[in-house]
């Protein structure tokens, strides 16, 4: 691969019809989608979003670009992006383990690529999506790594193939006219990450199905056996008088508490509300 290879410009991409711009952007996003599991085992909303995006992508690559499919995929990607970006921001400002920030930054950029791919079929959108994919790879790459060059090469090759097709395609799959996602330049990190991604998605999907199938009474009974009478870490009770504060303001306070938990080495908090209280459930700690 030549060092002169660059991502297609917005002007070049404007030569493609909207349908093929969507194909181009989707394949850019798919190259970094495995990086979404780099957060380990984060809060359930993130896991659900990534699993949803994974399942919808299986149809989107074959041309299922219906409003419903794209809308659900974009919502899932936005949820993933929000959580990963917040984790990256807090990890960078704290003394979190060295791998936490780059992993979270890579996941956030990968989610950003997915958001763009499912919401914007313009040349500008395709250009931004390709750049987000490169940013995702760059976040986790070492200076000597050729992954960035491989990503740029694959994106350029997709564009050239699309520009020379005689008929418009909606097929972004590897079985379609564009073929191999990496065009023979598959980086080592992708092979390893894709295997981990497939296993993690299956694990998260199983956890979510199990959780959905359990009723509240069963969860309460199980908790009697799972939770120790005297927990190793004392619970923290925090009283906040909301006064006349808006819902958005209260939400912002709770998000800050979750960020503080991340900074202390955890992976955020989930909040469940009843008529009187809001209970914080811990995500996954280090």
pLDDT of residue 256: 74
Q: Looking at the domain assignment, is residue 219 inside a domain?
A: no
191 with 241, same domain?
A: no
Q: Are 273 and 145 in the same domain? A: no
Residue 210 within any structural domain of the chain: no
Are residues 154 and 200 both part of a single domain?
yes
Within a domain: residue 78?
yes
Does residue 190 sit in the same domain as residue 239? Answer: no
- Helix spans in 120-264 (H): 123-140, 147-164, 188-212, 216-226, 247-263
Q: Domains in the chain: how many in total?
A: 2
**Below-70 pLDDT ranges, the chain:** 1-4, 40-41, 64-68, 95-99, 141-145, 211-241, 261-286
Q: Are residues 34 and 80 in the same domain?
A: yes
- pTM for this structure? 0.72
Please check whether residue 226 lies inside any domain of the structure.
no
Same domain for 121 and 39, yes or no, is: yes
Q: Are residues 90 and 35 in the same domain?
A: yes
* Inside any domain, residue 162: yes
227 in any annotated domain? no
Per the structure block, which two tokens stand in for 133?
């994919």
In a domain, 218, yes or no: no
Which residues are CB-neighbours of 114 under 8 A, at least 6 positions away?
A: 29, 33, 53, 73, 74, 77, 80, 81
Indicate whether 81 and 45 sit together in one domain: yes
The DSSP code sequence of 87-149 is: HHHHHHHTT--TTHHHHHHHHHHHHHHHHHHHH--SHHHHHHHHHHHHHHHHHH--TT--HHH
* Range of the structural domain that residue 33 is part of: 10-204
Instruction: Supply the pLDDT for residue 43.
Output: 83
Same domain, 138 and 260: no
4 inside domain: no
């Amino acid at each position: 691969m030549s060092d002169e290879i660059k991502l297609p410009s917005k002007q070049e991409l404007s030569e493609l019809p909207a349908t093929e711009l969507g194909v181009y952007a989707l394949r850019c996003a798919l190259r970094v989608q495995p990086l979404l599991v780099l957060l380990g085992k984060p809060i359930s909303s993130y896991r659900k979003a990534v699993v949803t995006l994974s399942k919808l992508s299986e149809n989107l690559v074959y041309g299922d670009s219906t409003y419903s499919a794209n809308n659900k995929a974009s919502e899932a990607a936005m949820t993933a992006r929000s959580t990963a970006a917040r984790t990256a921001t807090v990890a960078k400002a704290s003394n979190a383990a060295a791998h936490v920030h780059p992993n979270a930054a890579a996941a956030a950029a990968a989610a950003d690529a997915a958001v763009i791919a499912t919401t914007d079929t313009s040349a500008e959108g395709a250009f931004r999506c390709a750049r987000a994919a490169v940013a995702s790879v760059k976040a986790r790459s070492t200076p000597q790594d050729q992954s960035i060059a491989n990503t740029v090469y694959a994106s350029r090759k997709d564009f050239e193939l699309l520009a020379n097709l005689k008929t418009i395609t909606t097929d972004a799959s590897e079985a379609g006219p564009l073929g191999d996602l990496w065009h023979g330049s598959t980086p080592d990190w992708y092979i390893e990450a894709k295997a981990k991604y497939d296993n993690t998605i299956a694990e998260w999907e199983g956890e979510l199905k199990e959780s959905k199938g359990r009723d509240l009474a069963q969860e309460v009974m199980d908790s009697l056996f799972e939770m120790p009478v005297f927990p190793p870490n004392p619970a923290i009770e925090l009283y906040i008088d909301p006064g006349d504060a808006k819902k958005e303001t209260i939400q912002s306070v709770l998000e800050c508490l979750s960020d503080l938990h991340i900074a202390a080495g955890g992976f955020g908090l989930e909040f469940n509300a009843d008529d009187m209280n809001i209970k914080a459930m811990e995500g996954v700690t280090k």
